Amino acid sequence: MLRAFRPSVVSLGYALFLAINATAVWGGVFPFLPLSIQEYRTMFWFFIVEASVFALAYLASVVGSYFFPERTKRFLVPLASLPYVLGWVCLIAASYVKGASFPLVVCGGGLLGVGSAGFYMLWQRLFAAEEAERGNRELIVGTVYASVMYLALHAIPLAVTAILVPLVFLPLFGLAVVLASKRIDLNQPMFEDVPREHPQVYKRMLSDVWRSAVSLGGLGLCTGVMRATAITGPEVGSVVNIVSMVASFIAAASILVVWTRRGFTLNVPRTYRRVFPLVLAAFFCMPLVPSRYVIWLAGLLYALHSVAILVMMVQCAQISRDRGINTVFVYGLFGGIMYALHDFGFIMGTAVSSVAVPGLSSPAMVALATVCTLSLLALLGSTPPKQARALPDSNSIELVGQPSPDASAVLAAEVPEEAEPAEAEQPEKLAKAEAPLDGERMYIDRISKQVELLKEDYHLTSREAEVAEYLARGETVARTAEALFISENTVRMHSKRIYAKLDIHKKQELRDLVSSY
């Protein structure tokens, strides 16, 4: 179990990036900068500029990756590092140049927004380009250690910490991205993808995943509202940051433990519908409880927001691998929606708090506006698709467990050429296979069931199992690509991964293995 928490250079670099971001980006507070520059007016404009630029950078990346995909192939770390360094330089300078502290802080916010978005894009492309198990593990482990590093930063003298960020910490996590990018295969379909050549693939992707983006955006809206109402000063903001980081550590560690033991699949819109009543109840209680409660609520919602970011990155990486489409486009779309709703929540919370309505307190007004907006988003996100969704469901993230020793033994076993065992020979497995997966999986014939059993034994992903089924039916690469709305290069990439996991080398061996169930 402890091996699951063993960090790599990449996960430690990502953890350091998250810890530094938590000091300025997540809550818009600076626990390592003098309180003299953290008055409300300065922090308000810092945060609104930073958050707006952050969201716009994501939306701009969607347009840029669609029309200029070749620009997203290389890992341009200096391009993200420059505004990030200049942003921190502005914040540090604001501590010493008293007369110009306000414009320096606001300018620093804009630069940090651009730099942070750029680094998030780099990390996302790195995790997506790696093999699924490795990329997801580094992402989750990095989220776990980010909380530890954030709390450890408090042991360093405050003035020294602010200077260490641009001089030491940023070069360290920037170097981690550079080193990790050296091992990335840039010939993968996600890097060679030219969106304008197959717009139907992107149209289908948008139709499949927008519900997940709206669901995650609802959590972003909640944190924006809490930023406007609860984090009114640096002392409160620091408490919220600590609470959210501790809760984020618990959540990420729990995900890692469950994944290590058995693996799991998480449907994002369905999970949001289950969390939605609890979030509504929390906002309904805002006018009825002491103000201290709001601080804890803000911390927990920010922790939920950090978990949503983790889920969003896993889902976007999975979509890129499964469909072979541009990583920046997918992540920019999700992030743009999520952070735009976060900004909307902040503006709405600020505006509603200043409106005086007879008989209603300010917390009651904020709670009412938030509940109405979240209800509309929940209604929008729960709209059923016009047509049956093909498996694998792009609204679900899939963390596949590791092969067991029994499965490894099966890998080495000799596959009979004409093996067609009767259904009675494997009653337990076939009974399990006939049960729908998440209420949606339907089996059309014997091959469909056999491939599902193959998926369980060899720990294939849902997309790999789907491609394997088409290949087992004798379909060509072109026909498989057309049916699954993906490119032919993506089908070939999945075929390579399937053959590697099954330890086979040609399609006939795959057919024989499938028929052996």
Residue 35 Cα distances to 23, 109, 120, angstroms: 14, 17, 28
Asked whether residue 317 carries a pLDDT value surpassing 50, the answer given is yes
> Taking a C-beta distance cutoff of 8 angstroms, is the pair 11, 313 a contact?
no
Question: 238 vs 96, which has greater pLDDT?
Answer: 96
Give residue 332's pLDDT: 94
Longest C-alpha distance within the chain, in Å?
Answer: 84
Q: Is the fold of 2-381 the same as that of 403-515? A: no
| Closest alpha carbon to 24 in 123, 145, 161 | 161
Q: How far apart are CA 113 and CA 442, in angstroms?
A: 45
Q: Please name the residue ranges forming H helices in 423-461.
A: 427-434, 446-458
pLDDT at 258 over 50: yes
User: Helix, strand or coil for residue 398?
Assistant: strand
Query: Which pLDDT score is estimated for 431?
Result: 35
Q: How far is Cα 465 from Cα 455, in angstroms, rounded to an integer?
A: 6
Query: Which stretch of 249-253, 404-408, 478-482 has the lowest confidence by average pLDDT?
Result: 404-408
Q: Check pLDDT > 70 for residue 477.
A: yes
Distance CA 288, CA 496 (A): 59
- Specify which of 72-81, 332-341, 456-465 reaches the highest per-range mean pLDDT: 332-341
Confidence at residue 442, expressed as pLDDT on a 0 to 100 scale: 65
Give me the mean pLDDT over the 436-440 stretch.
43
> Does 303 score more than 90 pLDDT?
no
How many other C-beta atoms lie within 10 A of the C-beta of residue 508?
10
CA distance 390 to 137: 27
Residues with Cβ within 8 Å of 50's Cβ and at least 6 positions away in sequence, in order, are 24, 25, 28, 109, 110, 112, 113
Quick check: 512 pLDDT over 80?
yes
State mean pLDDT over 477-506.
Answer: 87
| Residue written as token pair 């959540």 | 251
Instruction: Provide the residue type at 370 as one letter.
Output: T
Whether 17 shows a pLDDT value over 60: the answer reads yes
Say if residue 433's pLDDT is above 60.
no
pLDDT tens digits for 370-393? Answer: 999 988 888 877 766 554 444 456
Average pLDDT of the chain? 82
Task: Tell me the average pLDDT across 228-244.
Answer: 75
pLDDT of residue 30: 61
pLDDT of 185 above 90? no
Picking from 16-20, 182-186, 369-373, which range would have the lowest pLDDT averaged per residue? 182-186
Selected residue with higher pLDDT from 97 and 85: 85
**Average pLDDT estimate for 401-427:** 39
Residue 264 has pLDDT above 50, yes or no: yes
> 25-66 pLDDT, tens per residue?
544 456 556 667 777 788 888 888 999 999 999 999 999 988
SS3 399: strand
Contact 240, 302 (CB under 8 A): yes
**Long-range Cβ contact pairs of 157-163 (< 8 A, separation 24 or more):** 158/31, 158/32, 158/33, 159/32, 161/32, 162/30, 162/32, 162/33, 162/88, 162/91, 162/92, 162/95, 163/92
Token output for 341 = 């709703």
Distance CA(198)–CA(371), nearest Å, equals 40
Burial status of residue 189 (CB atoms within 10 A of its CB: 0-12, 13-18, 19 or more): buried
Whether 406 shows a pLDDT value over 70: the answer reads no
Q: In the CATH hierarchy, which top-level class contains the domain 403-515? A: mainly alpha
Picking from 131-135, 375-379, 418-422, which range would have the lowest pLDDT averaged per residue?
Answer: 418-422
Cβ atoms 464, 495 nearer than 8 A: no
The pLDDT of residue 403 is 52
* Burial label, 19 (beta-carbon count in 10 A; 0-12, 13-18, 19+): buried
Name the class of domain 2-381.
mainly alpha
Q: Is 225 helix (H, G, I), strand (E, B) or coil?
A: helix
* Residue 508 pLDDT greater than 80, yes or no: yes
pLDDT recorded at residue 59: 94
Q: Where are the domains of the chain?
A: 2-381, 403-515
pTM of this prediction?
0.84
Q: Which pLDDT score is estimated for 234?
A: 65
Name the residue with tokens 């467990």. Answer: 401
Looking at the chain, the whole-number percentage of residues with pLDDT higher than 90 is 26
* Residue 439, pLDDT above cutoff 50: no
Residue 319 is predicted with a pLDDT of 92
Least confident of 176-185, 198-207, 422-431, 479-488: 422-431
Hunting for tokens 């007004």 — which residue is that? 365
The residue ranking higher by pLDDT, 459 or 54, is 54
Q: 51-65, 105-119, 157-171, 228-242: which has the minimum mean pLDDT?
A: 228-242
Q: What is the pLDDT of residue 143?
A: 93
